[in-house]
Each structure stands twice: as C-alpha cells, then as structure tokens.
Structure 1
C-alpha cells in the first residue's frame, strides 16, 4: 500500500537531495553530475544508500563523490487540522 507525501512527512520522512558526481565510462577524466531526490529517513537514509548501491551494481559510470542534504518539511507538532477557512479582502 502506497502512502501519500503528507503521511510520510508526519512519520518523520524528509526530502533528501543528492548530487552524484560520476565519471563517464569512455572518458574517465570527465566528471558529470546527476541529481537524485526522494523522501527519506535521516540519519540512516536507507533509500539514498539503496540507490547508490543500485548505481554501483547496474550503471557503468563509476562514482566519484556524493553530496547530499536532508530537510524535514513537516513534523507532527506543526500540523493541525483546519475545519474552515474565510477570506478577508
């Protein structure tokens, strides 16, 4: 069962963005970059490390380095249920 983004954020997930630098297989002296982004759990980052393992096993471009950042967008204390809304001009 797939859970939506709001439920993930309430369970502690945050947005993880990684910039992956890798060498082009035919031109080993050339570095290229790839941006990866997904909701993940800090500090272990299981989805990010699973993706890095996939890259090392399945993709020919050898990794040079990975920079990543993690940001919690919402925590359970910041969320509140709003029942109504009014507009004021």
Structure 2
C-alpha cells in the first residue's frame, strides 16, 4: 500500500471517467477506497502528512469534476423534460384545434 499505488488508481479512475466507462470507474474507486483505508490503518509519520494532503487535494479535485458532470447531466435531463412537456402541450393544442 503506497501513495504511488493510490495515485495510479486515481489516474486509472480519471481515465475511465474520460472514456465514459462508468462501471469500470466505480470499481476502480472501490479499490482506491480499500487501498486508502489499508494505508491509513498503518502508523503514519510526520513525513507522510504532506503527500497524504496532496492525495486528498487530488481527490477533492476529482470530486469537483464529478459534481460538474452531475450538474451538467442534471441540466440535460431538465432540458429534456421541458422539451417533452412542450411537445405534449403542442400535441394537446393541436388535437383541440
């Protein structure tokens, strides 16, 4: 369990996200979580703090990216729902005419 392994897992996760391989990204994130918990269960030294902080900052950055993607998808869904309602309203108005 090393920080290099954790960063490699985040690299693979980021790549899977870029390729829209969401199932694979999910399993990679599960593995990352397990590896991180295993690392944190070991005694840490003062020298481990800065690299761990860098890892946590990278995780936060990826979480920000995921939030942006979630918000973009939510906006697309909302736009799709509005379009669907407009189409139904148009069809109803047409059938009344």
Query: So what's the TM-score if we normalise by structure 1?
Result: 0.28
Structure showing the higher helix proportion among its residues: 2
Structure showing the higher strand proportion among its residues: 1
Query: So what's the TM-score if we normalise by structure 2?
Result: 0.26
Choose 1 or 2 for highest CA Rg.
2
Q: Considering Cα pairs closer than 8 Å and 6+ residues apart, tell me whether 1 or 2 has the greater RCO.
A: 1
